[in-house]
Amino acid sequence: MTSVIIISGYLALLLLLGLGSSRLFSGSGNDYQLAGHSIGPFMLLMSLFGTTMTAFALIGSTGEAWQNGIGVYGKMASSSAIVHSLCFFVIGVRIWKLGHKHGYTTQIEFFRDRLQSAHIGLVLFPILVTMVIVYILMGILGAGTIVNVFTSGAFPTLFPGDPAARQTVGAVPASLGSLVICCVVLVYVFFGGMRGTAWANTFQTIVFIVLGVVTFFVIAANLGDGTAVENMRATSAQIDARWASRSGTSTSVYLTYMFIPLSVGMFPHIFQHWLTARSANSFKLSVVAHPICIMLVWMPCVMLGIWATTDIAASLVKPLAGLSHNVPGNQNKVLPILVNELSGPVLGGFLSAGILAAIMSSLDSQFLCMGTMFTNDIAKRYFTKGEMTDRQTVFWTRTFIILVVAVSYGVSLLNPRGVFGLGVWCFSGFSALFPLIFAAIYWRRLTRAGAYACIFAAAATWGILFRAALTGNEPLSEYLLTVDLGGTSWDIMPVAAMIVVSSIAMIVVSMVTKPPDEAHLQRFFRGK
Amino acid sequence: MKYGIWGLVLLLTVLHQDLWYWNDSSLVGGIVPIGLFYHACLSVAAAFVWFLATQFAWPLGDADESQPGGES
């Protein structure tokens, strides 16, 4: 019940924050979709970090470390520390400048203008929307599961559950948990728009960073009878070399995994956040502090994951013995079990709020982005001939946000657990389009035909590889390509092939087609 | 200076592929596996390199910092 009270209080606080931010709403479409370009350095950092980190940063990182050892940090955290900041620096700052100069709100508006292609949106829109919806579904399903796990035993009369499975008794059903989270996010995004989203993201990001660190020290202090440091040393001394090194990780997979964080450069919701910045200088803090924020969240979680493999943890935390490394999904139970057994109900409640914070700080940006894209790229473009008053813009954005939330929640009720396997494919798809946004900003020779070639090549390569993964024996998320190089076979991530093919298609087709007008290029590039 | 910064970013990417600690399971301070400690240090180094980038290779000039409102 303690968890329920803390989660409820946290959600109520979020609603208040969203409604409070709406008091500053000026009524303009720009203010609703981009917070009137008023977001300063700290809120931009928190928004970007909160949006790029999902529940995986807390639960998944602990579970993956428990499953495979410390390699997950290099694969996903320190690589993101380099690549995410690179994207903010190389893409974000330029996009902010062009967005301010030409009045863009969505990625498609930028590409349509830069490539002089009135209908590129018809090709890009379905691709971007499909991939973001997969991302949203992972968030909604994950939130439902968290609410379900952390409310176990709270409402035995209302939700009797299955007496054979003790964990389900009295727990809020996952579908109801997802509905509550969707409604809370919907309310603060609906009323607060981008400002509400940025405020909520800032609050939620602080919550999950602080709670991650606090959880780490509380659990360390309870891992034995000594001081926290003594307990840490005693537990670390028991970690098997398999988890304390990367002996089980392929070097070529590790190398090519570095292409995955490039997806941040093509996320439409990150694009929209970039445009909210008050000035280009606002980006500096995000570029510098993002790697540190990643470290603060990931380091404690990875340490907890490898500690959970030791005999000390097994003797103190009995439920860990019931987890098998061979059962899919077991790894996601490691952090909740450690928290429940070693920290007590209050911290457990706060941690569940922190995990929900990580999920909601991504969901809100995605909902708002979808509403904005439907309004600006479809409704405004094809139904109102480019004309919309501020009132209509806000009305349609809100309407589409409600529709996106309703449809996403409806699909989540079908319980498509397969979407979790699609996660890495979704990120790979965005990464495969990274060459397009990079070339649009830095390569004058990029042509409209080259851009289409890039999109089609990315989509085709993705489709071919995905089909191969579907027919393979391994889980979707573990599908790898094998290439022969110098007489040796190397496993690589499919994303590497996607990026190579989309880049080659873009470059070759651009070089053999007519270059854009110089006068048009002057709008995007300084000098010649 | 700009090229130096991009050289450092490239160096970070190379240092990220730390084959030298791949199979090393020794502990730093008796607590943190050396491979993990190395990558935590790499995160800090990344922050420092990006700090240098914002100081010496910032992509926009002062004139670009405040733009007039959108034209379309």
How many angstroms from the chain centroid is the CA of residue A15?
A: 22
CB contacts of A103 in chain B (<8 Å) are 69-72
- Strand, coil or helix: A482: strand
Q: Tell me the mean pLDDT in the region B28-48.
A: 95
Q: CA-based Rg of chain A, rounded to a whole angstrom?
A: 23
Q: Tell me the mean pLDDT in the region B36-46.
A: 96
Q: Tell me the mean pLDDT in the region A283-306.
A: 94
Q: B38: distance to nearest CA of chain A, Å?
A: 9
Q: Tell me the mean pLDDT in the region A85-94.
A: 95
C-alpha angle with apex A185: A180 to A189, nearest 5 degrees? 150
Closest CA to A371 of A395, A397, A346: A397
Residue range A177-215, pLDDT digits in tens: 999 999 999 998 998 888 888 888 898 889 888 888 888
pLDDT of B71 reads 37
CB contact A81 to B (< 8 Å): yes
Residue range A503-520, pLDDT digits in tens: 999 999 999 999 999 999
Angle between helix A390-412 and helix A120-150 axes, rounded to 10 deg = 50
Determine the Cα–Cα distance for residues A515 and B57; give it in Å rounded to an integer.
Answer: 29
CB contact B62 to A (< 8 Å): no
Determine the Cα–Cα distance for residues A5 and A151; give it in Å rounded to an integer.
Answer: 10
What residues have CB less than 8 Å from A414, skipping those under 6 apart?
A: none
Which position has the higher pLDDT, A75 or B60?
A: A75
pLDDT of A346 reads 84
- CB spacing of A258 vs B54 below 8 angstroms: no
CB contact B70 to A (< 8 Å): yes
- From the list B31, B54, B69, the residue facing A236 with the nearest CB is B31
Nearest CA in chain A to B47: A288
The token pair at B63 is 């004139």
Spell out a b/e string for A95-124, using b for 16 or more CB atoms within 10 Å of the CB, else e. Answer: bbbbbbbbebbbbbbbbbbbbebeebbebb
Which position has the higher pLDDT, A384 or A502?
A: A502
CB contacts of A245 in chain B (<8 Å) are 21-25, 33, 35
Residue range A349-361, pLDDT digits in tens: 888 888 888 888 8
Torsion sign, CA atoms A110, A135, A396, A183: negative
**Cα–Cα distances in Å, from A92 out to A288, A347, B19?**
14, 37, 32
Q: How many CA atoms lie within 13 A of A513 on its CB side?
A: 19
Q: A80: distance to nearest CA of chain B, Å?
A: 9
CB contacts of B39 in chain A (<8 Å) are 70, 73-74, 77-78
- CB spacing of B46 vs A245 below 8 angstroms: no
Mutate: best of A62, A70, A274, A393, partner B, most B CBs <10 A: A70
**Cα–Cα distances in Å, from A195 out to A23, A54, A109, A190, A396?**
10, 20, 21, 11, 17
pLDDT of A123 reads 93
CB contact A279 to B (< 8 Å): yes
Determine the Cα–Cα distance for residues A59 and A356; give it in Å rounded to an integer.
Answer: 11
User: pTM of the predicted model, to two decimals?
Assistant: 0.91
A456: exposed, middle or buried (Cβ count in 10 Å: 0-12, 13-18, 19+):
middle
**Judged by CB atoms within 8 Å, which residues 226-255 of A form the interface with B?**
229, 232-233, 236-237, 239, 241, 243-247, 249, 251, 254-255
Mutate: best of B5, B34, B36, partner A, most A CBs <10 A: B36
Q: A74: distance to nearest CA of chain B, Å?
A: 6
Mutate: best of A78, A110, A256, partner B, most B CBs <10 A: A78
Residues in chain A, overall count:
528
Residue range A377-425, pLDDT digits in tens: 988 888 887 788 888 889 999 999 999 999 999 988 887 666 667 788 9
Which of A28-37, A149-158, A412-421 shows the lowest per-residue confidence on average (mean pLDDT)?
A: A412-421
Q: B15: distance to nearest CA of chain A, Å?
A: 11
Band (A495; pLDDT cuts 50, 70, 90):
very high
pLDDT of A418 reads 66
Which position has the higher pLDDT, A168 or A179?
A: A179
- From the list B24, B47, B71, the residue facing A102 with the nearest CB is B71
Q: B22: distance to nearest CA of chain A, Å?
A: 5
Which of A29-33, A215-219, A229-233, B5-9 shows the lowest per-residue confidence on average (mean pLDDT)?
A: A29-33
The token pair at A412 is 């989540």
pLDDT of A345 reads 81
Q: Tell me the mean pLDDT in the region A428-436.
A: 96
Nearest CA in chain A to B5: A86
Choose the most confident range, by mean pLDDT, from A43-57, A319-333, A451-465, B53-67. Answer: A451-465
What residues have CB less than 8 Å from A503, skipping those under 6 apart?
A: A435, A454
- CB spacing of B40 vs A73 below 8 angstroms: yes
Which of A142-151, A184-193, A453-462, B56-65 shows the lowest per-residue confidence on average (mean pLDDT)?
A: B56-65
The token pair at A331 is 């790894």
Q: A418: distance to nearest CA of chain B, Å?
A: 31
The token pair at A261 is 């964080």
Which position has the higher pLDDT, A346 or B10?
A: B10
Is A334 within 8 Å of A305 (Cβ atoms)?
yes
Which position has the higher pLDDT, A329 or A451?
A: A451
Looking up tokens 């907890």 gives: A304
CB contact A317 to B (< 8 Å): no
CB contacts of A288 in chain B (<8 Å) are 47, 50-51, 54
pLDDT of A110 reads 95
- Strand, coil or helix: A28: coil
Determine the Cα–Cα distance for residues A454 and A117; give it in Å rounded to an integer.
Answer: 14
Count other Cβ atoms within 10 Å, centred on residue B50: 29
- CB spacing of B16 vs A102 below 8 angstroms: no
Determine the Cα–Cα distance for residues A73 and A302; give it in Å rounded to an integer.
Answer: 7
Closest CA to A430 of A132, A133, A81: A132
CB contacts of A48 in chain B (<8 Å) are none
CB contacts of B47 in chain A (<8 Å) are 81, 85, 288-292
